[in-house]
């Protein structure tokens, strides 16, 4: 793949504000901007790189002449009237294959850029355009997209359809060079005119969201760029909000810490944040391991996934662990479950003959956070009391499922390589509800079938790190009664942490499943 840099501007604003270096040689965190781009392009497998500079700055010419000994670099020296004319002067070097074009002063995170290039190399579209919802541009070019991030238009002013602005980085195929030729023949000079023309001519363009893209136009942009780049990490770990660790906060914190330590032992740099810090800070990493469950956190993860980040567990998996979503997906996957139904909490029990006692009632809108969110009831009176409490707490729905007699077991899994189960009647529990089934009798069952059920359930829910509960009948029948994302792994935390860390490492090494 080919890469190109437009660096033909004079950098007059920087000079007026006391910056003596020509723009390509302005240092960000100690490295000239053009050096940073060349190194990054080589990391992305550049076959060739071409840069255009103006004919006025000898320091830039000398610097690039030295770099030509190190990189497959062509230098075009030409003073131009605008960015599109600069692009046009690079056209002969870009024909015949996919290429990426950017300006020398565009600042972005390297991990995001690498994900962007990987995505484009696999793409069949005419182009992938770097975009961002961070606006720090004097005259931003807005764009609209559909749900699949196909670009539907470019706009000088924002409206209800514009969620992003152009980031000034363009991954294009040779077909787009024909549009460039036509734009030049019509006397156009600006890249925004070229971008609009691509859409008008029916080119298929995809938007690739970056967390931030900055331009170094003013002296104070240098410090801003340096601070921004220092908030990028190889791996980001997101802790779970304490409200989702009832009576298990220390155990959840310990398994999280152990995963972090296992990664660091392998030389991986890990930045740890809370859910609140994730939501309030502008952080990015190409790999994330997370115990987060808040919807606000999941929306951040949605954006990171669009940028090509790997999230363990995926936000879709966390959402699938809602009571209703889970019951539907596990049922569709053929997982053996207890008989169950959903009811609105304003329903009356008096005439409901579909419920058999004893049974279990769980709040229907998510995870159990208090003991009252999961209740065992023996009759309609107790059930109505539970419903009244749910109504008072403004919980609109409930899951009712049959009580199963038999041995209660807990299980934990990581990917397809780690599985552990045990009888919780001999261990400390979250709310003490395991006592309902009594001490385990050790009924014989097919352990391989349990593992198969759990692997199938995890796949249907999009979970890689999971846990749950099952009941084994006296005849050895297995039924799953609960399934959830990233448990505390109580009795097997050390082994589980190694397996979770290995999942992340496998993804980082490009051989994850």
Specify the length of the chain in residues. Answer: 513
496: pLDDT strictly greater than 70? yes
pTM tops 0.75: no
pLDDT confidence of residue 55? 76
Strands 2-7 and 99-103, sheet pairing: parallel
Summarised one tens digit per residue, pLDDT across range 35-51 is: 999 999 999 999 999 99
- Cβ-defined contacts of 350-355 (< 8 Å, 24+): 350/380, 352/380, 355/380, 355/383, 355/400
Tell me the residue ranges of DSSP E strands in 403-473: 407-414, 418-422, 465-472
Give pLDDT tens digits for 364-377: 777 666 778 888 88
pLDDT for the residue numbered 431? 47
* pLDDT tens, residue by residue, 139-154: 899 999 998 889 999 9
Instruction: Say if residue 306's pLDDT is above 80.
Output: yes
* CA gap 52, 80 in Å, rounded: 10
**Distances in Å between the alpha carbon of 131 and those of 135, 138, 187, 495?**
10, 16, 26, 41
| pLDDT-derived band at 432, boundaries 50, 70, 90 | low
Q: Is the dihedral of CA 203, 206, 210, 211 positive or negative?
A: positive
State the pLDDT confidence band at 511, using cuts at 50, 70 and 90.
Answer: low
Residue 441: strand, helix, or coil = coil
For residue 6, give the nearest of 61, 56, 50, 69 by alpha carbon.
Answer: 50
pLDDT of res. 365 = 75
Q: What is the CA radius of gyration of the chain?
A: 28
Yes or no: say if 48 and 3 are a contact pair by the CB < 8 Å rule.
yes
52-61 pLDDT, tens digit each: 998 777 889 9
Strands 418-422 and 407-414 turn out to be antiparallel
Distance separating alpha carbons of residues 492 and 418, to the nearest angstrom: 10
Structure token digits, residue 229: 């780049």
User: Strands 106-107 and 214-215, how do they pair?
Assistant: antiparallel
Flag whether pLDDT at 326 surpasses 80: yes
Q: Which domains does the chain have, with CATH numbers?
A: 2-229 (3.90.550.10), 241-313+500-508 (no CATH), 339-403 (3.30.1490), 404-485 (3.30.470.20)
Between 75-89, 149-163, 341-355, 405-419, the lowest mean confidence (pLDDT) is in: 341-355
- The per-residue pLDDT for range 79-93, each reduced to its tens digit, is 888 899 999 999 999
- Give dist(CA 362, CA 413) in Å, integer: 24
Whether residue 188 has pLDDT greater than 50: yes
List the beta bridge partners of residue 132: 165, 210
The answer, yes or no, to whether residue 477 has pLDDT greater than 90, is yes
143: which strand partners? Answer: 154, 164
pLDDT digits (tens, 9 = 90+) for 412-427: 999 978 999 999 875 5
Q: What is the pLDDT of residue 278?
A: 87
The residues pairing with 363 across neighbouring beta strands, listed in sequence order, are 398
| Residue 248, pLDDT score | 57
């Amino acid at each position: 793949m080919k890469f190109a840099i437009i660096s033909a501007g004079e950098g007059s604003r920087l000079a007026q504000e006391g910056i003596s270096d020509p723009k390509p040689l302005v240092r960000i965190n100690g490295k000239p901007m053009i050096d940073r781009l060349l190194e990054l392009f080589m990391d992305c497998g550049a076959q060739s790189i071409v840069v255009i500079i103006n004919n006025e700055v000898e320091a830039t010419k000398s610097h690039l002449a030295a770099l030509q000994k190190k990189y497959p670099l062509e230098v075009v020296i030409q003073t131009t009237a605008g960015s599109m004319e600069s692009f046009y002067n690079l056209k002969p070097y870009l024909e015949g294959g996919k290429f990426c074009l950017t300006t020398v002063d565009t600042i972005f995170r390297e991990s995001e850029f690498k994900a962007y290039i990987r995505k484009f190399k696999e793409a069949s579209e005419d182009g992938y355009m770097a975009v961002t919802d961070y606006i720090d541009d004097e005259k931003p070019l807005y764009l609209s997209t559909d749900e699949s991030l196909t670009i539907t238009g470019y706009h000088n002013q924002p409206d209800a359809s514009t969620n992003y602005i152009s980031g000034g980085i363009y991954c294009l195929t040779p077909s787009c060079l024909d549009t460039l030729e036509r734009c030049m023949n019509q006397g156009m000079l600006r890249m925004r005119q070229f971008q609009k023309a691509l859409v008008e001519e029916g080119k298929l363009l995809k938007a690739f969201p970056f967390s931030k893209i900055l331009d170094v136009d003013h002296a104070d942009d240098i410090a801003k760029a340096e601070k921004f780049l220092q908030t990028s990490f190889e791996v980001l770990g997101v802790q779970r909000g304490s409200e989702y660790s009832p009576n298990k906060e220390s155990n959840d914190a310990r398994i999280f810490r152990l995963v972090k330590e296992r990664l660091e032992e392998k030389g991986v740099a890990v930045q740890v944040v809370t859910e609140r810090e994730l939501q309030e800070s502008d952080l990015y990493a190409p790999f994330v391991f997370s115990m987060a469950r808040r919807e606000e956190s999941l929306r951040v993860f949605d954006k990171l996934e669009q940028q090509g980040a790997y999230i363990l567990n995926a936000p879709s998996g966390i959402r699938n662990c809602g009571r209703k979503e889970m019951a539907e997906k596990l049922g569709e996957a053929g997982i053996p479950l207890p008989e169950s139904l959903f009811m609105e909490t304003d329903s009356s029990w008096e005439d409901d003959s579909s419920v058999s006692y004893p049974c279990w009632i769980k709040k229907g809108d998510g995870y159990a956070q208090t003991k009252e969110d999961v209740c065992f009831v023996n009759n309609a009176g107790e059930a109505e009391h539970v419903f009244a409490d749910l109504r008072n707490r403004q919980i609109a729905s409930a899951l009712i499922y049959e009580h199963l007699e038999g041995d209660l077991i807990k299980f934990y899994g990581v990917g397809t390589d780690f599985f552990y189960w045990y009888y919780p009647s001999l261990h400390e529990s979250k709310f003490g509800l395991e006592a309902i089934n009594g001490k385990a009798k050790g009924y014989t069952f097919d352990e391989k079938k349990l593992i198969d059920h759990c692997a199938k359930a995890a796949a249907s829910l999009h979970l890689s790190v999971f846990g749950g509960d099952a009941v084994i009948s006296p005849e050895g029948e297995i039924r799953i009664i609960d399934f959830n994302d990233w448990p505390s792994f109580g009795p097997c935390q050390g082994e589980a942490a190694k397996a979770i860390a290995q999942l992340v490492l496998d993804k980082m090494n490009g051989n994850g499943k």
